[in-house]
Structure 1
Amino acid sequence: MSGGEPGLRERKKRRTYQAVSETAISLFLERGFDKVSVAEVAAAAEISKPTLFRYFPSKEDLVLHRFADHEDEPARVVSGRAEGVRALDALHHHFLEGLERRDPVTGLCDVPQVLAFHRLLYGTPSLVARLHAYQSRSEEALARALDPAAAVPARLAAGQIVAVLRILAEANWRRIAAGESAAEVYEDAVAAAELAFVQLRNGLGQVGVPG
């Protein structure tokens, strides 16, 4: 087998992974995260509880795996940027592109299913707490992309960048959750992103991290 294509076993594993998560999220949206047990999810997905835990180490991971898919996104943007493009410029451009295409990761998405998912996430304390672990791994990956030696300045910079991206996304989501459309929020979201990256450039330029 060539071209890096996943084998049959891996494809089957991915399909099962996705199907179990979708089943769980449907139940959580219908009844609430705390009112659905892992055993009920396993039964609805027609797998055993031990099998479910082989795919998802915790109940929270049934929801948060969607964030795991984006965990190293900032790092990939930095590592994959064109020669001569500064790290912050690449991240800035990527975030603006996400706003334009209404990427759910930016919070600027008013698709009903996405909005319901975000309400589930941000309205469940245990999910919010678990999300911090994903953000920490995102910071670590970004720090390595900024500086393979993961020096302290790079780790500090990564923490600030990931925090800014989170704050921007949450601000967009809260306005949409309050009833505004993505189109209504868009211009303010772009302005907020512009301001945020100006502040990042001004601050991070002092610690020697490529801007």
Structure 2
Amino acid sequence: MEEGLRERKKRETRRRIADVAMWLFMSRGFDNVTVAEVARAADVSVNTVFNYFGTKEDLFLDRRDDLRDLRTRVVRERAPGESVVAAFRRDFFQALDEGDWRYGFNEGAEVWGRLVGESASLAARARELESEIEEDLAAAIAEETGADDDDLTPKLVAQHILGLTRLLGRHYTLRSTAGEPREEILADLRERARAGFDLLESGIGDYGRRSLGADAAEDGEAAGDEEDDHVEGDQR
């Protein structure tokens, strides 16, 4: 029980520091706040802050471990008969309906996105996190499917799924930042998400196939007629 109490207090301290830091970042901007100021506002020492967070960027991305875990859990906890893409489709729409933070659909997500865009170091760390999540997901897919070490399929699947969900999340953030009504954004995003996941499930082989056009179609028909004439001639 004593060990459990210590762990609970550590979690509470970590959460308090992260909450205070986020409040300061949102109020003044990420680059305009120092770790020392976060420590003073949270009533802890600077060393205590760094005991919980390795860098200032980690203070902002305090839920990074949760994000990495949530993506792999979608794969590991999918239902019997459910594909990886179908599992992510289900999880994505659930988050969209609930306004959950895991895909960036919570209120205030546009502020989070703005702060990342304003700071070069924070944007770089966010890209690193995206790469880490992608590697984690690819490893989970490989483990779940029994893929060989040299099989590139798990990495390809992970890239496509996360590429789609990131694109949709950023689209939501951009429109929210522009002040569009939330319900209008969500209604449109649902259609875009359905189209995107349909592409992932069915493949993109036919996407962007160029139409023949009228002249090309006529040429094709003429070629077909000539071929028929040759066939008839051979038969005679």
Is TM-score (shorter-chain normalized) higher than 0.5? yes
Unaligned runs of 5+ in 1: 206-211
Higher helix share: 2
Tell me if the contact between 2:26 and 2:115 (Cα under 8 Å) persists in the aligned partners. yes
Show the counterpart of 2:116.
121
Show the counterpart of 1:139.
134
* One-letter code aligned to 1:167: L
Question: How far is 1:171 from its partner?
Answer: 0.3
Deviations 1:103-134 (A, max 9, x none): 1333333x3x4443332233323212101222
Distance (Å, rounded) in 2 between the aligned partners of 1:120 and 1:156: 30
Distance (Å, rounded) in 1 between the aligned partners of 2:152 and 2:19: 39
Closer/same/farther in 2, CA of residues 35 and 84 from structure 1, 3 Å limit: same
Equivalent residue for 1:36, pick from 33, 37, 40:
33
Show the counterpart of 1:26.
23
Equivalent pairs, count: 199
Larger of the two Rg values belongs to structure: 2
Show the counterpart of 1:185.
185
Distance (Å, rounded) in 1 between the aligned partners of 2:203 and 2:34: 46
Deviations 1:66-118 (A, max 9, x none): 34322222210111011111111010011011111111333333x3x444333
Show the counterpart of 1:90.
87
Note the aligned Cα RMSD (angstroms).
Answer: 2.1
* One-letter code aligned to 2:7: E
Unaligned runs of 5+ in 2: 206-236
Closer/same/farther in 2, CA of residues 140 and 57 from structure 1, 3 Å limit: same
Question: How far is 1:202 from its partner?
Answer: 3.5
Deviations 1:160-201 (A, max 9, x none): 211211111010111011001221111111111111112222
- Secondary structure of 2:174's aligned partner: helix
